[in-house]
Amino acid sequence: MDRIVNARYLGLVPYGDALELQQRLVRERAEGAIPDIIILLQHPPVLTIGRFRGERDIIASPETLAREGIVIFRTNRGGSVTYHRPGQLVGYPILNLKDLNLGVRDYIRKLEEVIISLLREFNIASGRHPDYPGVWVGGEKICSIGIHVSRGITMHGFALNVDTDLRHFNYIKPCGMTGKRMTSLAKVLSRPVAVEEVAKPLLACFSVVFSVTCMLERDVPRLSRLVVSRPIYLIIV
């Protein structure tokens, strides 16, 4: 495992800032200015909508979302609507798939395998669903996956429910699913779980699954230099 992937944990970052950061890193990776990198972080409450669908899978009214302080962003990732909030570990790998000799489908399956391997470290049995990307514990979804690939470079990624308020998932049909429930590590383990407790073992699992070495960097990118994207508040009629 001599291929290095730089890793950075940024803590709590507004979604617009993180989106701008991803876009910049994707450009720099495509130009060969930076190596592969994976960004780990958390987001304040936000709904993100995929490029194909999403609005119709929002159940809550715009008034309810505004009252709860939940903003909405359109994105270019695959999938429908999903929800982020603190207590969720979100990962954005910026990788050159050509260098890794991976196709898009294989890449998604490897992301799933990273989470399955991580959960095994916590003695949690998990697996895939035949109809939906992501990782499941029993009949409940614990990790959502949605990506975008441009010029062979990935962006977006996964959102693992670590110890988060699952109540707001009732405001949407997560990933366009009807009648499915979400879960978290804390719920399954019946104990509090810190996001930071999960980040390092996740990088270890990522290293094994992708046959790379993830190096956790201490120098955090200066988000203050980024132009913050404006959230979109959708009015569903």
Active site residues: 175
R_g over Cα of the chain: 17
> From CA 221, how far away is CA 18, in angstroms rounded?
11
Helices (H), 32-103: 62-67, 97-100
Q: Are 85 and 45 in contact (CB under 8 A)?
A: yes
Residue 161 is inside which H or E element, if any?
A: strand 153-161
CA 133 from centroid of its chain's CA atoms: 12
> From CA 92, how far away is CA 46, in angstroms rounded?
16
Q: Reduce the DSSP state of residue 104 to 3 states and report it.
A: helix
Instruction: Provide φ and ψ at 228, rounded to 5°.
Output: -75, 130
Alpha carbons within 13 A on the beta-carbon side of 50: 22
> From CA 140, how far away is CA 147, in angstroms rounded?
21
Q: For residue 37, count other CB atoms closer than 10 A to its CB.
A: 21
Q: For residue 12, count other CB atoms closer than 10 A to its CB.
A: 10
